[in-house]
Amino acid sequence: MSGKGDRERIYTNRELSWLQFNERVLEESEDRRVPLFERLRFISIFQSNLDEFFMVRVGSLYDQTLLKEKVLDSKTQMTAPEQLQYIYQNVRKLLPRKAKSYESLMAKLNDQGLEQVPLNSLSAQDFEFLKLYFEKEIAPLTSPQIIDKRQPFPFLKNKEIYVGVRIASKSGAVRLGIISASGHFGRIIYLPSQNGKVRFVLAEDLICLFVEKIFNRHEVLEKVLFRITRNADIDVEDEMVDVDFDYRDAMEELLKKRRKLTPVRLELSGEVSHELTEYLCDHFTLSREQVFVDTCPLDLSFVFALEGKLKGKAELFFSPVAPQIAACIDEKRSMIAQIVEKDILFHYPYHSIKPFISLLNEAANDPEVVSVKITLYRVAKDSKVINALINAAENGKEVSVVVELRARFDEENNIDWSKRLEEAGCHVIYGLPGYKVHSKLLLITRKLGNKIQYITQIGTGNYNEKTAQLYTDLSLMTANPAIGTDASVVFNSLFMGSVVESSTHLLVAPLCFKPRIIGLIDKEIAFAQQGEPAQILLKMNSLTDKVLIDKLIEASRAGVHIKMLVRGICCLKPRVPGSTENIEISSIVGRFLEHSRIFVFGLGERQKIYISSADFMTRNTERRVEVAAPIYDPAIQKEILHLLGIMMKDNVKARVQDMYGIYTYRKNEEEPVNAQEVLYREAYASAEQKKNMPQPPKALIQEKRNPHGFWKRVMRLFHR
């Protein structure tokens, strides 16, 4: 696979594959089966994704163009400039499609009672209302500036919208006036209702409409809304070469620096003159290729604020659903006792995260619990997980927390939480030098007389109550002492500042994950070469690790049947004769973000199943601390295979990748299967069935009490 033709035939460039994923998000806005307002929401998600892509991935490629030595993509051998060219070309194809979808949806929503009022056809009454609003509510809060020799170009914030005006000058040169379109005023301005219709305009459009009133001493030749996107790709380790620093303080300084990094994109809200475009490009040191013209709002985040104005319009939204308490859970019993009895698996968002929060709260108050250890990557703004940890520390438990301050764009939130945890008496560390801690691992240690008992939780997603309702993730809870011992080794290594060098049951990156995965694939290759049935089932967010990709190609050539669900980036093309003909790849993009990682190797009695925090990406397998857990419980194994089977039958939201890397909806003669809807229906059905089951007598569900528990409670009363 050394020739360029072979590489193009088998591999897909990472950045182009990501753009394909975001195109699938945009497709959701075009899908007539999706309710109207939800389709509008998907356009906003598409744009938000694209913003982050430019900040991180395009920013990284831009940095590579500044290096003396060429940096080549390991799979396609494309240079950074070549990749940027492909990105710019593909984005230009997607933007008109986004604008068309936005305009179409707003026209349909207009018929449903929501109107973005066009400013070029205002009625006299609306014009007077907006003029008065502008003069009283917005104009006094603006800070206009004209750029000249005495007024240098101001610093423009990342992704913030500005109104730019070209002002006439005696010399004929471009003179630019700038006003920030955000400030101490709301972005959405509601007009008086007509026939019950919700009518609005955006603040930036209103400022642009009346901008001549601000620059009233000058002749305004043209005006435009624009924003810049800045590079946000900072290498934390390179920035922190001094060993004598406070890591949290250094991260706070790093965040300030990120806000001032180089622009990598300029967006304009319509065509403007060559002179003004050149002026802006010269100032921001951008080429014309980095300028993108959009005809719909430059920032669509306002969409989410409109939802509250459409109450009573249920047909515009997905049917409301609520996470269900897993059927295996008895809410009246101790969570710890139930986990000791058998392993428990939650599948979010179909199952509620509440029992997991109950587990943490129970651990905080259980006299037998001596320590709670956890890794935190992204947590909710008002985190019940954090509150439970603080409660545990205040109750005298040893609480050790690994807070990853380098969780991109969640750094500030994590810095704030780390301070609160430390103030409560928790032992907090901030990950390892050179490695992000991305694992989702919890270890509760109990001392029962002379015995130690571990309660271990391993997940595929963050300890975040909000995303647990939006992302599909798996959470395994077990009292298996061997898994608990491995988890203890992971935490001991982290707090000693090192990585795990060997583990028995858990697969722990960076040293004990990829080699074990390769070994599991090799076993299937060996079975296939002996003429035995061989199978691999994989579900993940992204596939970019070339070593693992090449191993999967080797397995395919050996006759191993491989089925993969890869939601996002996929650098491998399936069904290529002679290489990947035994590989099938599909992607599900729907109401919930597919986020769980599942690895299945083999069939029958030799089948091994893992859930993992890691994707098959080089950053996960080599530069992060990740954990994959084996599934030993037969009932949970069956449950995971069941949900995988449903997802692989999806013919509503699944797209299948062909040998050319093109994704198309899976179409067959089978009954329609929307996997996410099926799994939610099953969760509801299980909860209803559990509700209708006869309840055992109370005496049968009371937990075995600690004989000394009563006297401990009495003693605590005297110490209050």
**Phi, psi at residue 175, to the nearest 5°?**
-115, 130
Decide if 311 is inside a domain.
Answer: no
One domain for residues 350 and 472: yes
CB 409 within 8 A of CB 49: no
CA 564 from chain center: how many Å? Answer: 20
Residues 393-406 pLDDT 10s: 999 999 999 998 77
The pLDDT mean for the chain works out to 91
- pLDDT value, residue 152: 87
- pLDDT value, residue 701: 41
| Candidates 427, 438, 505, 561; catalytic one | 438
CB 509 within 8 A of CB 626: yes
Find the mean pLDDT for residues 20-42: 98
CB 602 within 8 A of CB 538: no
Residue recorded with tokens 């890591």: 247
Residue 611: pLDDT above 90? yes
- pLDDT value, residue 66: 85
Query: 707 — alpha (psi -120 to 50), left (phi > 0) or beta?
Result: alpha
Tokens of 253: 């300084």
- Work out the pLDDT band at 5, boundaries 50, 70, 90: low
Residues 417-438 pLDDT 10s: 888 999 999 999 888 888 999 9
- Domain end (from 436, 467, 498): 498
One domain for residues 563 and 666: yes
CB 564 within 8 A of CB 539: yes
One domain for residues 539 and 448: no
One domain for residues 434 and 566: no
**Phi, psi at residue 602, to the nearest 5°?**
90, 180
Residue recorded with tokens 């199978």: 535
49-67 burial, b if ≥16 CB within 10 A, otherwise e? bbbebbbbbbbbbbbbeee
Decide if 471 is inside a domain.
Answer: yes
Residue 471: pLDDT above 50? yes
Task: Report the CATH number that the domain containing residue 450 is assigned in CATH.
Answer: 3.30.870.10
Find the mean pLDDT for residues 257-282: 88
Tokens of 280: 């802006």
One domain for residues 464 and 398: yes
Distances (CA, A) of 576 to 36, 536, 550, 568, 583: 38, 18, 13, 20, 9
- Report d(CA 266, CA 277) in Å as an integer: 10
- pLDDT value, residue 371: 98
**Ranges of H-type helices in 134-246:** 203-209, 211-214, 236-239
- pLDDT value, residue 696: 56
> Any catalytic annotation for residue 347?
no
One domain for residues 482 and 584: no
DSSP annotation string for 30-65 = H-TTS-HHHHHHHHHHHHHHHHHHIIIIIHHHHHHH
Residue recorded with tokens 């709260």: 361
Look at 420-429, 436-445, 694-703 and tell me which has the smallest mean pLDDT: 694-703
- Domain end (from 498, 527, 561): 498
Residues 671-683 pLDDT 10s: 999 999 999 999 9
> Sheet containing 188-194: which strands, arranged edge to edge?
114-116, 197-202, 188-194
One domain for residues 272 and 370: no
What is the Cα gyration radius of the chain? Answer: 28
Q: pTM of whole model > 0.95?
A: no
- Report d(CA 207, CA 180) in Å as an integer: 9
Residue 441: pLDDT above 90? yes
- Work out the pLDDT band at 410, boundaries 50, 70, 90: low
Decide if 123 is inside a domain.
Answer: no
- Report d(CA 548, CA 229) in Å as an integer: 34
One domain for residues 357 and 440: yes
CB 446 within 8 A of CB 455: yes
- pLDDT value, residue 395: 96
**Phi, psi at residue 156, to the nearest 5°?**
-105, 130
- Report d(CA 497, CA 517) in Å as an integer: 25
Residues 6-28 pLDDT 10s: 677 999 999 999 999 999 999 99
Other C-beta atoms lying within 10 Å of the C-beta of residue 284: 18
CB 191 within 8 A of CB 203: no
Q: Which of 499, 573, 576, 509 is nearest to 543 (CA)?
A: 573
- Report d(CA 18, CA 16) in Å as an integer: 5
- pLDDT value, residue 250: 58
What residue numbers bound the domain in which 104 lies? Answer: 1-112
Residues 457-469 pLDDT 10s: 999 999 999 999 9
Number of domains, the chain: 4
Tokens of 72: 């080549």
Find the mean pLDDT for residues 434-450: 96
Higher-pLDDT residue of 702 and 354 is 354
Residue 717: pLDDT above 50? no
What percent of the chain clears pLDDT 70, i.e. is strictly above it? 91
Biggest CA pair distance of the chain: 93
Distinct helix (H) and strand (E) counts, the chain: 24, 27
Q: Which of 378, 410, 380, 440 is nearest to 624 (CA)?
A: 440
- Work out the pLDDT band at 260, boundaries 50, 70, 90: low
Distances (CA, A) of 279 to 175, 219, 235, 274: 9, 18, 31, 9
CA 627 from chain center: how many Å? Answer: 18
- Report d(CA 198, CA 305) in Å as an integer: 13
Give CA angle at 203 (224, 278), nearest 5°: 15
Decide if 309 is inside a domain.
Answer: no
CB 234 within 8 A of CB 200: no
One domain for residues 209 and 358: no
Decide if 327 is inside a domain.
Answer: no
CA 64 from chain center: how many Å? Answer: 25
- Domain end (from 498, 525, 556): 498
Q: Which of 377, 403, 406 is nearest to 255 (CA)?
A: 406
Decide if 125 is inside a domain.
Answer: no
- Report d(CA 472, CA 588) in Å as an integer: 11
One domain for residues 438 and 473: yes
- Report d(CA 93, CA 644) in Å as an integer: 34
CB 650 within 8 A of CB 679: no
CA 1 from chain center: how many Å? Answer: 33
One domain for residues 414 and 383: yes
Task: Report the CATH number that the domain containing residue 95 is assigned in CATH.
Answer: 1.20.58.310
Amino acid (1-letter code) at residue 592: F
DSSP annotation string for 466-486 = TGGGTEEEEEEEE--HHHHHH
Higher-pLDDT residue of 712 and 629 is 629
Residues 137-161 pLDDT 10s: 999 999 999 998 788 889 999 999 9
Find the mean pLDDT for residues 641-661: 97
Find the mean pLDDT for residues 102-116: 96
Find the mean pLDDT for residues 565-588: 98
- pLDDT value, residue 149: 78
Residue recorded with tokens 């985040």: 301
Residues 220-251 pLDDT 10s: 999 999 999 999 876 544 444 444 455 566 55
Decide if 698 is inside a domain.
Answer: no
Distances (CA, A) of 130 to 172, 356, 367, 463, 472: 33, 50, 64, 45, 44
- Work out the pLDDT band at 264, boundaries 50, 70, 90: very high
Decide if 141 is inside a domain.
Answer: yes
349-388 burial, b if ≥16 CB within 10 A, otherwise e? bbbbbbbbbbbbbbbbebbebebbbbbbbbbbeebbbbbb
One domain for residues 488 and 619: no
Look at 198-207, 332-341, 374-383, 390-399 and tell me which has the smallest mean pLDDT: 374-383
Amino acid (1-letter code) at residue 505: H
